[in-house]
Amino acid sequence: MVDENAGAIITVFVLGVVTVLHLLGAVPARLVLIFGLFAVVLLLAIGLLVLGEIRDGMRDAR
């Protein structure tokens, strides 16, 4: 679980850096869109993994 969280944090950080570079005019908008879509997909996947772990934990608690 820690690895997924670290991956999400790194992805969001890179997205922020790319967005700032775009605002400064150094990066084209297409690259920001690609990183943004990747970040959204990654965060949704991590959310599904977390929900699966919660479900498995509840199954074991019974």
Confidence grade of residue 1 (pLDDT, cut at 50, 70, 90): low
Q: How many domains does the chain have?
A: 1
- Single-letter residue type at 19: T
To the question of pTM greater than 0.95 for the whole model, the response is no
> Which residue range is the domain that position 50 belongs to?
2-61
**Span 3-43, pLDDT tens digits:** 667 777 777 788 888 888 888 888 888 888 888 888 788 88
Phi and psi of 25, rounded to 5°? Answer: 90, 10
Provide DSSP, 24-58. TTSS-HHHHHHHHHHHHHHHHHHHHHHHHHHHHHH
